[in-house]
Structure 1
């Protein structure tokens, strides 16, 4: 079942799982694709919205997948908005 966002019942929007949004095969819940597939999926997008911990509490990068994501964002995207909401950081990236 997709997550539902919104406050009024006449304005709710279903959010598909991440893998479906990128046309990737859906695996088990919590199973992340490999670095090459992540890179390809990210490069197919014009904008990316990240939901992460605020910098004060964020953990250091760990693993090839995280490094692939960071490399793609740094090389191919620029930050166009960056806000903190309820202890989370929400940057929006747009293709260069």
Structure 2
């Protein structure tokens, strides 16, 4: 199923990470607080708000940090995704 966000919204997929403690114990991503790190899957076309054009500053494939309580979780084809407004994206990781 293909999803295309509307307006200035972005479809994200959380990046799964494992972390190893100093003692060598591996912590899976579901055993700790979410890292708020995701990959951009799709990008909306942008929007015009109050007569000003809002251009999209992220592109497909970017790794980004997003706000803690941002967006709406959706499940498509047994995968979890997050739809957020571009304003909820804090940074692009290079």
| TM-score, with structure 2 as normaliser | 0.23
More helix by share: 1
Task: Determine which structure has greater relative contact order: mean sequence separation of CA pairs < 8 Å that are 6+ residues apart, divided by chain length.
Answer: 2
More strand by share: 2
